[in-house]
Amino acid sequence: MRICVTLAEGGLEMERLRLVKEFLGIDDETEAKAWCLFVDMLRAMSDAEAGLISKADADNAHRQFELFLMQHDLKMLSDEDGLEPGEFAIIKRTTSEMKRVNSMDILLLMNNEDICEVLIAEDVRDVAGFPDNIIRFLAAPNVHEWLKERIIERDPERGERLLRAVIDEVPDDIYAHFMLTRKYEKDGRTADAEAEYRRFLRIRDDGIVWANYGWLLERMGRYDDALRAFERASSLIQSEMGGDYELVDELQRSISRVSRMRNLRGEDAMKAHAYQQAVWLINEVKGYAEMHFGREMEIAREEFMEAENIEEMSEEDEMEFMNWFLFTRSLPDGRTPAVVFADERGLDEDTKAKLKHLGSPKSGIYEIISYEPDAFRIRVRNLLSDEEYELMADIEGIEVGQTFSGNLYPWGDIYLSGGALRIHSPELSDEIKSVVESFSTSDSSESEDKREELHNAFTSFFGSWEAVFDTKEACEDAINRFLDWFFLERKTEIGKTIAEIYREEHGEEMKREPFKIPQSFESAKNIGVLSDAEEGIFLVQDYGILKNVIENGSVSAAGEDAPEMGKDEIVEKIRAMFIEMEIFVLRNLLQSHRENVINVLNEVFNAELPEDADVDNVVSFIMQMREQRETL
C-alpha cells in the first residue's frame, strides 16, 4: 500500500504527491499528503470489499489517515458540515479557509492516475500513453458514465480540447465523439454537434451514431431529417449487431414518434413539441441528480419505501420515487434537485416555475375519455371528482374507457404522466367504474347527509373549517386522531359510535387503516386541512402562508413562514394558490376577511378590484385569471 507520509525526495511517491497537488489544486503540502492518505484509505476499502486485501489492511489504512489528521491538527469536512453534496475538504482546525474537492476527482485519483496526468497537462500530446489511455478510459464498461463526464465537467474548455485532440489522433474513435457531441448538446451548441455528427459519419457509417444524430435532429424540430436518420440507424443496427432488439425497438418508437410529429400543425404541433421538450428536460434533470446526489438518493429511497410500506420496488414504484425525489423532496439546503439543476443551468424563470410545479402532482384514479395518439393527447377524467385533464403522453395499447391510477404532473396547461401510470386491464377498469358509479348513483341525500356529518364533526374537533399544521407528520397525526375520535368515540344520533354500529351489523370489530398523507407532501410545511359540507375535506400545501398573508392583508406577512423565499417567489405562489383553490375556500375566506382578500388579490395580480366587491365578483375574477392561465 502507498503511504504519502513516508515519501522520499525524488522518489516515485513524490511524483504522486505532485500529481495530487496539481490535480486537486492544493498548495499546502501537509494537506496534500492528507489527501493522498484519504485516497489510499478509499482504495484499501474498495480492495477489501473485492477480496483483494484483508479487512485488517483496510482498517490500517483508515487508522493511518485518522492519525495523520490528528497529528497535524487537520479535520475533514463533508456535506454533513455544510458543504454541497459530493464535496469534501481537509482544513486546519485553526482556519476557516478551505479548498473544496469534488468526490469524483477523488475517484479519478483512486484508479486512474494516468487520466489525471492528462487532465492537468498543458499539451496532452506530451503525456505518455496518449491517446490510448483516454480511449481505454472512455471505452471501459466498468467505469461509470458520470465519472467519464467529470473529465469535461471539471474544466469544460480543457475537456473539449482534450476530446478534440483524441479525435485528431483517432478520427473514428466513437467514445470521444460521443462525449464531444454530448457536451455540445448540453451547452446548446447544436450547430457544432451536428457538424461533429456529419464529420464522423463521413468516416464511418455507424448505426449508433445515426441514432444519436436522429435524436439531435428531433430535438431541433427537423422531423423529416430525424426520420431518415432513425431509419438508417435501424437498418445498420439490424445488419451490424444481429438485431439488438432493445435498441431496434427504441428506434421503432422514435420512428413512430417523429412520423407523427412531422404531420402536426398549429396548436397540436405546439403542444406536442412542448410535451417532448418537457420529457427531454426531465430526463436531463434525472441524469444530473444521479450524477450529483447519489448518496442523498439512497437515503431518500429508504424514506420512500418506509413511507409507502414497500419491500421491493416495482418499475412504477421506481418512477414514482424518482419523480418525488426530483421535484418534491427537499435537499438539506431546502431546494429540490430540479431547482438545483435549474439554478446551475441558469434556466429562465418560467421553466424553473414549471419544474417546481411538478412537485405538486394530482393523484387519483382516472378514466380515459378520449385518445388521439397522433397528437399524443389523452383526455382523462378523475373518477371521484369528475374533473377532466389534458394528459400528453405516448402510451401504447390503451383504449377509451380504460382506467389507470397514478399522478398527473402539471406542465403549463397540460399534464405529464411521469412514466408511472398503473394501467388497469379492461376487466378491472369496468369493475372500478361500476363501483364508482354505484356510489354516485346511490341515494344522493344520504351521501350529502354523510358529508355534512363529517364536516360538522371536523369543525367540532378542530374548532374551525380550516386547520393548519407545520409539517406532514403533525398533519398526519392530527387527522388520525380526528378519525379515531370520529369512528371510535363520537356518539351518533342514536347514541352509539360508528364502531359499535359496525360491530353489531357485521359481527366483528371495525378495522381502520391509518391515514397516510401522499408522498408529494413529504417536505411540505404549513399544510392546510380544509372541510366543506358539500365538497368534502382537502389538503393544501403552504396554506398557512396564504392564511397569514390574508389575515394581515399583505404579501410581506409571509416572510416568517417562508424565510427562504423572495418576495417575487411568494407573490407567484400566492397567485397560483388563488387560481387553483376550491371555490368554497375562496368564499369562506371572503366571508371572514373580505377586505384583506381583495387587498391581497390586487397586490398579487396587479388588479383594481373595488373595496366593496361582492363575493360573486371576486369569484368571477378568479375564474377569469384561471382561464387566462390555461390559455398561456
pLDDT digits (tens, 9 = 90+) for 408-457: 999 988 999 988 788 988 888 888 887 777 655 554 555 677 778 889 99
For the entire predicted model, the pTM comes to 0.71
Alpha helices by DSSP H, listed for 422-566, are 426-440, 444-462, 472-484, 498-506, 543-552
The pLDDT score that the predictor gives to residue 1 is: 41
The pLDDT score that the predictor gives to residue 440 is: 57
Q: What letter would DSSP give residue 526?
A: E
Coarse DSSP helix, strand, coil percentages of the chain, rounded to the nearest 5 percent: 60, 10, 30
Q: Which of 281, 295, 284 has the alpha carbon at shortest distance from 149?
A: 284
What is the band of 560 on the pLDDT scale with cuts at 50, 70, 90?
A: low
Q: Are residues 431 and 449 in the same domain?
A: no
Domain end, chosen from 72, 88, 120, is at 120
The pLDDT score that the predictor gives to residue 437 is: 72
Q: Are residues 577 and 518 in the same domain?
A: yes
Query: For the chain, what is the mean pLDDT?
Result: 88
Examine residue 174 and state whether it is found in any structural domain, yes or no.
Answer: no
The pLDDT score that the predictor gives to residue 343 is: 93
Examine residue 223 and state whether it is found in any structural domain, yes or no.
Answer: no
Instruction: Compute the average pLDDT of residues 24-53.
Output: 94
Examine residue 488 and state whether it is found in any structural domain, yes or no.
Answer: yes
Q: Are residues 415 and 349 in the same domain?
A: yes
Q: Are residues 402 and 497 in the same domain?
A: no
What is the band of 93 on the pLDDT scale with cuts at 50, 70, 90?
A: confident
Lowest mean pLDDT across 49-53, 234-238, 536-540: 536-540
Domain end, chosen from 88, 120, 152, is at 120
Examine residue 417 and state whether it is found in any structural domain, yes or no.
Answer: yes
Q: Are residues 523 and 618 in the same domain?
A: yes
Instruction: Compute the average pLDDT of residues 504-510.
Output: 82
What is the band of 227 on the pLDDT scale with cuts at 50, 70, 90?
A: very high
Q: For 549, list phi and psi in degrees, rounded to 5.
A: -60, -45
Q: Could you tell me which residue, 91 or 431, shows the higher pLDDT? A: 91
The neighbour count for residue 105, using CB atoms within 10 Å, is 20
CATH classification of the domain holding 426? 2.40.50
Which residues make Cβ contacts (< 8 Å) with residue 203, sequence separation at least 6?
171, 172
Instruction: Compute the average pLDDT of residues 606-631.
Output: 84
Highest mean pLDDT among 3-12, 255-264, 306-315, 420-429: 255-264
d(CA 476, CA 519): 12
Whether residue 632 is predicted with pLDDT greater than 60 in this model: the reply is: no
Instruction: Compute the average pLDDT of residues 110-133.
Output: 93
How do 414-416 and 388-392 pair as beta strands?
parallel
What is the band of 561 on the pLDDT scale with cuts at 50, 70, 90?
A: low
The pLDDT score that the predictor gives to residue 612 is: 85
What is the band of 542 on the pLDDT scale with cuts at 50, 70, 90?
A: confident
The pLDDT score that the predictor gives to residue 7 is: 42
- Cell digits of residue 21: 497537488
Q: Are residues 454 and 372 in the same domain?
A: no
Instruction: Compute the average pLDDT of residues 125-148.
Output: 93
Identify the domain containing residue 115 by its residue range: 1-120
The pLDDT score that the predictor gives to residue 539 is: 87
Whether residue 127 is predicted with pLDDT greater than 70 in this model: the reply is: yes
pLDDT one-digit tens code per residue, 446-489:
567 777 888 999 999 999 999 999 988 899 899 999 999 988 99
Examine residue 458 and state whether it is found in any structural domain, yes or no.
Answer: yes
pLDDT one-digit tens code per residue, 304-347:
888 777 888 888 889 999 999 999 988 888 889 999 999 998 99
CA atoms within 13 A of residue 367's CA, in its CB half-sphere = 20
Which residues make Cβ contacts (< 8 Å) with residue 321, sequence separation at least 6?
300, 301, 304, 313
Instruction: Compute the average pLDDT of residues 19-32.
Output: 94
Instruction: Compute the average pLDDT of residues 346-367.
Output: 90
Q: Are residues 526 and 563 in the same domain?
A: yes
Examine residue 216 and state whether it is found in any structural domain, yes or no.
Answer: no
d(CA 408, CA 518): 13
Examine residue 308 and state whether it is found in any structural domain, yes or no.
Answer: no
Whether residue 243 is predicted with pLDDT greater than 60 in this model: the reply is: no
Instruction: Compute the average pLDDT of residues 21-26.
Output: 94
Q: Are residues 423 and 491 in the same domain?
A: no
Q: Are residues 433 and 456 in the same domain?
A: no
Instruction: Compute the average pLDDT of residues 569-588.
Output: 88
Instruction: Compute the average pLDDT of residues 142-156.
Output: 92
The pLDDT score that the predictor gives to residue 150 is: 93
Number of domains in the chain: 3
The pLDDT score that the predictor gives to residue 292 is: 84
Q: Are residues 396 and 527 in the same domain?
A: no
The pLDDT score that the predictor gives to residue 489 is: 93
Examine residue 565 and state whether it is found in any structural domain, yes or no.
Answer: yes
Q: Are residues 487 and 604 in the same domain?
A: yes
The pLDDT score that the predictor gives to residue 481 is: 93
Whether 293 and 339 have beta carbons less than 8 Å apart is answered as no
The pLDDT score that the predictor gives to residue 516 is: 78
Return the residue matching grid coordinates 394581515: 552
Instruction: Compute the average pLDDT of residues 235-239.
Output: 89
pLDDT one-digit tens code per residue, 363-414:
888 999 999 999 999 999 998 778 899 999 999 889 999 999 889 999 988 9
Q: Are residues 498 and 623 in the same domain?
A: yes
Which residues make Cβ contacts (< 8 Å) with residue 446, sequence separation at least 6?
none
Domain end, chosen from 420, 440, 460, is at 440
